């Protein structure tokens, strides 16, 4: 998709009209991330886990997370932090105003069947 940003943007626009929402995955890990952020109609910016994992011990990682949140907010987007592994990291992400978190501390991955079980009990 990224090899042709114009076509990718056009496709994403059409899918957005149908109700889909997109996230720019692993933001900060690639050299073209700012270009993708500018040209692709994503609603969410996922902060790369390499910065999230070092949040408690590395001031550079905290600065990058805070800057990413500010940039996303200025562009009208929400942020998602990946690789949240402990409560200390989750607390620091709240202090940085990150909107959403994902990782083993939040919950382990589930199979599709496991995910459907709670939905089945609601509909009965």
pLDDT tens digits for range 80-93:
999 999 999 999 99
Strand order across the beta sheet in which 23-27 lies: 23-27, 44-47, 78-81, 100-101
Residue 105 · residue 86 · CB < 8 Å: yes
CA quadruple 95, 102, 84, 37: dihedral positive or negative? negative
- Which domains, ranges and CATH numbers included, belong to the chain? 2-123 (3.20.20.450)
pTM of the model: 0.71
pLDDT tens digits for range 32-52:
467 777 777 788 889 989 999
User: Who's near 75: CB < 8 A, 6+ residues apart?
Assistant: 37
> What gap in Å lies between CA 55 and CA 50, rounded to an integer?
9
């Amino acid at each position: 998709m990224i090899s042709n940003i114009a076509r990718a943007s056009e496709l994403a626009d059409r899918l957005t009209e149908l109700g889909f929402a997109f996230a720019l995955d692993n933001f900060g890990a690639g050299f073209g991330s700012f270009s993708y952020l500018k040209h692709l109609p994503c609603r969410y910016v996922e902060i790369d886990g390499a910065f999230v994992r070092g949040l408690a011990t590395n001031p550079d990682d905290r600065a990058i997370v805070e800057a990413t949140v500010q940039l996303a907010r200025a562009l009208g987007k929400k942020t998602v932090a990946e690789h949240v592994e402990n409560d200390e990291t989750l607390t620091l992400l709240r202090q940085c105003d990150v909107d959403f978190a994902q990782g083993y501390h939040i919950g382990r991955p589930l199979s599709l069947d496991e995910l459907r079980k709670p939905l089945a009990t609601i509909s009965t």
